[in-house]
Amino acid sequence: MTKVILVTGGTGMVGQAVKTIVDRDPNPDETWIFASSKDADLTDREQTRKLFALYKPTHVLHLAALVGGLFRNLSNNLDFLRTNIFINDNVLQTSSENGIEKVVSCLSTCIFPDETTYPIDETMIHNGPPHHSNFGYSYAKRLIDVQNHAYHLQLKCNFTAVIPTNVFGPNDNFGLEDGHVLPGLIHKTYVADRDGTPLVVWGTGSALRQFIYSHDLARLMIWVVRHYDEIEPIILSVDEKDEISIKEAAELVMDAFDFKGDVIYDTTRSDGQYKKTASNAKLRKYVPDFKFTDRKSVV
């Protein structure tokens, strides 16, 4: 029987990365549908139901979300909380109503407690409040894990989730004000190099992050859709040794541009959470030989 896999948020960075990998190595027993907000407003239950009725999926890869960088989150926590709760509830409830065989939702390492021990793993999600800077988004995403277990216990639904670390790649948000870390640095360095001005990096540069290339994440997500059968979530991350500081990330970008100008660290800007070091031990048990793409070559 052919699987019909509906990807919500299918035109975003991760959705397009999945499409790239699927198109590169298609499976004849799978049909992938990449839906965008133009196809349905997933905050609306009836539009969500119509989308499912149109494509009749057997599986759902749920990537749709209201997302933004640190500084957009800081000033819009309520919007991130409410919008994402509506989206997630509609997708999971409609999946339940339609007997979807498996739903894989995408979470984020920001859901983990701010005060915790490291490395964080899948058992620690609910051990304390998330960082205050993006608590709205974090709690909405954390609630997916609660819903997955509730749907499984009461209705036997096969709903699970993946937890990627900081994703970067083609089709990312390169905005100077609300972009993600690496694409924001790429845009800023491009402008500074073009205009002969200093490169201004927000924060002290000391915060630590594990960056995963979107095409690597896509390969792992496809594996989860096909082969991962736990309700418990799974962290999709590079190894702990590959964690770098924002300063090191900026240097990677500067090297790529051969940027020789001045660099200013704007310490009036928040660093956000200092570190979110995640263990990929569970992932490595399943796919011990997975090879991540070299970060420097990708940048």
Active site residues: 137
One-letter amino acid for residue 84 of the chain: N
The widest CA-to-CA distance across the chain, in whole angstroms, is 61
Cα separation values, 187 from 177, 253, 294, Å: 10, 10, 21
Distance, CA of 102 to CA of 67 (rounded, Å): 24
Neighbours of 119 (CB within 10 A): 18
Angle at 80 between CA 38 and CA 212, to 5 degrees: 80
Distance, CA of 282 to CA of 220 (rounded, Å): 13
CA atoms within 13 A on the CB side of 206: 5
Picking from 40, 9, 209, 171, the residue whose alpha carbon sits closest to that of residue 104 is 9
Q: Would you call 78 exposed, middle or buried from its count of C-beta atoms within 10 A (0-12, 13-18, 19+)?
A: exposed
Residues 6+ apart with CB under 8 A from 77: 134, 135, 136, 137
**Strand partners of residue 213:** 168
> What's the count of helices (H) and strands (E) in the chain, helices before strands?
10, 12
Contact 7, 34 (CB under 8 A): yes
Contact 126, 62 (CB under 8 A): no
